[in-house]
Structure formats: structure tokens, C-alpha cells
Structure 1
Amino acid sequence: MSTPSFASTGDLTEKKVSFTEVGPNLYAYTAEGDPNTGVIIGDDSVMIIDAQATPAMAQRVIEKIRSVTDKPIKYVVLSHYHAVRVLGASAYGASEIVASEKCRGMIQERGNEDWASELGRFPRLFQAAESVPGLTWPTMTFNGKMTVYLGKRRVELLQLGRAHTAGDIVAWVPDAGVMFTGDIVEYHSACYCGDAHYNDWPATLDAIARYNPKSIAPGRGDALVGAEMVQAGLDATKDFVTSTYNAVAEVAARGGSLKDAMTACRAACDHKFGNYAIYEHCLPFNVARAYDEALGIENPRIWTAERDRDMWAALQG
């Protein structure tokens, strides 16, 4: 059996882009499991949720936005710190880049390492990587909650709990009952849990559910329009996270190896999630973080390009 190519270095297939209206003047830019971007159009300006990995990739989002509005893009909101979400921010010409205070701290702590790691794992998502001017620094940060007005339209930026990362936020548009969740919610796409807080994630999903969103623009996968799809997305995300963690934690508790944990995770998850986008890509990183968390390592260890390769080799060997 041949050794699989590292992470997603072999994934060269372009994805079909959709631009779906999830509420009045609210859109989800989705691409079959590649990172999504949310678009909120207010009376006087536009807010973007997650910026794509490079300015060149962001231009594709801007083209879609310009097909529905010519209002200026004033805000870029970062749902979390990952390079694939933030490094395209400069393309939008926004006057403010908004994130949680924790997200900004994580860019400071591990932004460069994360950039190198993600570029090495998934080069297709970093088209025209040379167009990235450097790390993206938020110009406004908050703890807990921040309200932004786009004319009369109110957008609430909320920290509902740790999940995909420690600094996750969502954007809630009350007039439409629509939420942009970043990678806290995925749909038919694997959750990347390499920087996760597994034990907090289900409660954060419950906090989202309490808003009774009519639609959700998730971090990856199709837009969730209507209560039935919203519930399906929340349920599947919770099942993915808990199934992964519980299988690995059981192995860690009895002193099993990381490789044993991978075997147990596959037994629990392959039949349910094996056909999800980026499942094989995420799996080793998910197992490694679950194993650490089960052993009491509170804060996710920083992934470096070197650590990525070492872990990958250990789990393939």
C-alpha cells in the first residue's frame, strides 16, 4: 500500500463555488468543503466574515459581492486566527478588521507558525501566496460581545465559547435570524480539531442553537437554510466532535499509543464521516489534539511545519 501524500498536498482539484442568499442581503460564499466566507450587506456598507487565505482568493469573493452590491466593504471580521481564514484580508480595503481579543493574542503567539504549517499542508488554498503582505492584524478587538451597525442593520459579534479554537466568534444578524459561525459548525465537511477544545465544543454548539437561527453560514460546506438543515448541521458537527474525542480519550486513559488512538478513531468515525470533505486531511491532527486534551494538555500545542511532518510520519508508519 502506498503512503498517502502529506495532508492535502495531493488535493489539486478546483472546487465549484456557490453564492447562496441565506437571508435578506446576507450571503454565504461556499466551495464544496473549501473555506467559506460570509457577506452581510447593510444600509451603507458591507461586512465580510472570514477573508480567505490570500488576496488573490479574496478577489473571487469580491467579484461575487460586486454582482449584488456596490456598497463599500467597511468591516472584515475574523471568526478565528487560522491563516486560511485571515491572510486574504488586505484585498477588501476595509477600514476595520475585527476579532476577539483572544484571536489577536493567538495571531501574536502562533500566527507565523500557523501560516507556514497551513501553506505546507494545503497549498491549493494559498493561490498566489506571494500576494499575502504579512500577518493580518485586527484593528478592533473585544471580549464577550460587540455590536456593529451597518446603518440600521445591527450585527452582534459574540464569543459563545471555545470550540474550533480558543478565540472563536460568531456573527448574529437579529433582523434576519441568521448566524455566521465560522468553523464552529461544518456541513458534510470534517471539523478540523487540531487547535480545538473538544470538551467545550458541544456546549458552544448548544449556545448557537439557543438563538434558533433560521439559517447558518457554516465554516465549510453548504449553507444551512431553514430550521431542518440548521439542526442537521448542528447535530452532525456535535456527533463528529464527540465521536472523535471519546474514541481517542478511551485509548489515552488506558495508556495506549497515538497510533492506537488513530485506529480507535477510525473504527468510531470512518463509517459515519469518511465521505466528508477533508476527512483524511483532518484526521491525524484531530487525533493528536484529542490525545493531548485527554491527557490534560489544556492549550493546544503550536503546530509547526516540522511538527506536522513528524506527527504524520508517526501515524503512517
Structure 2
Amino acid sequence: MAAAIVKTLPALLLALALHGAACAQDTPVPEPVAPGAWMVQGQSALGSAANRNFISNAGFVVTNEGVVVIDALGSPALAEELIARIRRITPQPVTHVIVTHYHADHIYGLQAFKAAGATVIAQRAAGEYLNSETAAQRLKASREELFPWIDENTRLVPADRWIDGPTTLTVGGVEFRLIPVGPAHTPEDLVVLVPRLRVLFAGDLVFRGRVPFVGQADSGHWIEALDALLAHDIDVVVPGHGPASTSARADLQLTRDYLAHLRRTMGEAARNMEPFEEAYEKADWSRFDKLPLFKAANRINAYNTYLLMEHEAK
């Protein structure tokens, strides 16, 4: 079993992987995060043809009856490369892929896993997005912006198994707790806790070391979800973006604090009917403005939060 392989790795290698010292690669290179558990780290960048949409993380856990993968990466080619990497580690087949949410950078690789025989599991709320015009238009745009990695053969893949509440999946004696935590980053957010390993695959509830993309998120519920996760006994967090963390509380807290800061500053402006531009310019962003993607994400995050807080105040 691959767990035995991981246990024989030098302690230094494991420590470096856990603390994110290994740089994000152009190709998905697995790094161990716990005995039998691995992750690949996407780049801190916007998706592009140059990076093949490799901007998100994926993880997997090897058991003696199969491999459980968490998220499918941002293109079929990346997923195929990940499958090949998994086969270098273990002869066990990929039996399941758990989708934390249906954003493009996490799901365009699903068709490669389906072709390999995996069962796809996701939270039922994703179905509405999957069948929406928004998802169709996003795929259409991706076929242009991310060509040739996303093309006319790339398709949206629904789950084989939709879950409605907390669910336990057991593979090879390893328990995976699937915990719906949306609406937060998306309506269908799902995190995966592996109690035996004390590892949490957090999806995009956690962006480590960079500014998250808030989009149309329900930031109030997102904060509540992070508060709930802080109550779990966790050693390692694998975020949706950024390196793995052995400082679970600190990294959950950073995302939480950023969201709370958005809500506090933009909420005050909305209540006072202060124009967004004035509120944005006078807000103190000094704690976050050195983080990667701050310039790309923060203004739109603040504007969407301003609109959300206007709506909540009605």
C-alpha cells in the first residue's frame, strides 16, 4: 500500500511538502501531505492557455481498495497527467472523484476520470449551476480563452452520485467524511475530512497565501462555515488554492478575516449610502494588499460585497 511508501520518505521531504516549500509546477506533481495522502498544487494565477488552466489544487488518498481523488483540475490534459502520476505511486485504480464545487478550474478534468472508470460525487446544489446558461457560456468562453486545452471535446460532467447532507464514504477501510458547507464560496461547497489522517480537503473555502475570488459568494455563510471547520481536529489543510498547511487554524483564519474585513468595510459604506468608489479608496487594505492576486481580485470582491451588504440591509 502507498501509505508504507509515504512513511519511508525522509522527514525533511514531508515537512517541506506540508509547509508548501515545493513550488507550484507547470504539470501536476504529487506531494505527500500525510501517510497515503497527496496533493498537487496549481499556480497562483488566472487561468490561461499558457498555464493550461492549472490554477487550482487537487488531492488524493490511496487505500488498499482504490484511490479517492478530490477535485479534477482545470483541463482534461491535466487530469490525464494526474492519473498517470497516481499510477506511478500505486497500482490501485481511481474509484471515486469527490467534487468540492463546480467551478471550471476544478471540474474540466472530470471527463478523464470518468473515462478511467471513477464514480463522481458532488453536492446536489451543483446541479442547478451545471444545467444553467451560465455554465454553458463559461464553457464556451473557455473554449476560446483556454484553447487548445479546452476545446469542442471538453464537456461538463454531472455527478454519478448527488448527496444532500453529511455523507460517509468508506474505501479500503478509510473513512471519508463529505461535509456540505454551502452556500459559501458556491451554493454547493463540499469539504472532505479524512479523520484517520487528520487531513481536511477544504476546496475553495480556503485560499492559502492569496486573496480569494469571492464572486457572488454568500460571505456571511462562508464565515460561518469556516467557524464550523475550526472546531474539527485537523493537522493538515489542503486548500483549493495555495500550498498545504500544518497551521490549520491560522490559514482558515486568514480567509475568514479577509471576508470579515470586506463585510465590515463595505457593510458600513452600504449602510451609510456612501458611494462604492469613495468607500473602496478610503478602506485600509494593508493587511492583504501584498498577497498574490490582490490587484486582480480585491476590487471586484469589494464591489460584490458592497452589493451583497446593500441587499442584506433591505
TM-score, reference length from structure 2: 0.80
Q: 2 CA distance for matches of 1:23 and 1:205?
A: 22
SS at match of 1:171: strand
- State whether structure 2 residue 115 is matched by structure 1 residue 115: no
Does the alignment pair 1:281 with 2:296? yes
Q: Is contact 1:80-1:103 (8 Å) kept?
A: yes
- Determine whether 1:70 maps to 2:86: no
Q: Give how far 1:287 is off.
A: 2.0
The aligned amino acid for 2:130 is: I
Matching of residues 32-181 of structure 1 within 5 Å: 32-33=43-44, 34-92=55-113, 93-109=116-132, 110-116=134-140, 123=145, 128-130=149-151, 132-181=153-202
Counterpart secondary structure, 1:224? coil
| Pair 132,36 (structure 1): closer, same or farther in 2 beyond 3 Å | farther
Partner of 1:242: 260
C-alpha displacement of 1:59? 2.6
> Does 1:290 pair with 2:302?
no
- 1:21 and 2:32 equivalent? yes
TM-score with structure 1 setting the length: 0.80
Aligned ranges for residues 162-311 of structure 1 at < 5 Å?
Answer: 162-225=183-246, 229-264=247-282, 267-269=283-285, 271-296=286-311
Segments of structure 2 that go 5 or more residues without pairing to the other structure are 1-23, 45-54
Q: Let me know the Cα RMSD of the aligned residues.
A: 2.4
Secondary structure at the aligned position of 1:167 is classed as coil
What amino acid is aligned across from residue 79 of structure 1 in structure 2? T
Following the alignment from structure 2 to structure 1, what is the Cα–Cα distance between the partners of residues 225 and 143? 29
Letter in 2 for 1:241: L
Partner Cα distance (2:269, 2:153) in 1: 41
The equivalent of 2:52 in structure 1 is none
Say which SS state the counterpart of residue 89 (structure 2) adopts: coil
In the alignment, is the contact (CA less than 8 A) between 2:68 and 2:95 conserved in 1? yes
How far apart are the structure 1 equivalents of 2:196 and 2:231?
16
More divergent stretch after superposition (55-64 vs 39-48): 55-64
Stretches of structure 1 lacking an aligned partner (at least 5 in a row):
1-12, 299-317
Aligned to 2:6: none
CA contact (8 A) 1:155 1:171 kept: yes
The alpha-carbon deviation at position 221 of structure 1 amounts to 0.6
Higher RCO (CA-CA < 8 Å; seq separation 6+): 1
Secondary structure at the aligned position of 2:39 is classed as: strand
Residues 195 and 67 (structure 1 numbering): CA distance in 2 closer, same or farther, change over 3 Å?
farther
CA contact (8 A) 1:177 1:214 kept: yes
* Pairwise CA distance, 1:192: 0.9
2:122 aligned counterpart, secondary structure:
strand
* Secondary structure of 1:181's aligned partner: strand
Which residue identity does 2:37 align to in structure 1? L
Counterpart of 1:256, as a letter, is E
Q: Match of 1:287, as an amino acid?
A: A
Structure 2 partner of 1:313: none
Q: Is 1:20–1:223's contact at 8 Å kept on the other side of the alignment? A: no
Tell me the distance in 1 between the aligned counterparts of 2:131 and 2:232. Answer: 32
Write out per-residue CA displacement over residues 123-157 of structure 1, whole angstroms, 9 at most, x where no aligned residue.
Answer: 56x76111752112111111111221212111111
Distance 1:284 1:119 in 2: 27
Aligned twin of 2:3: none
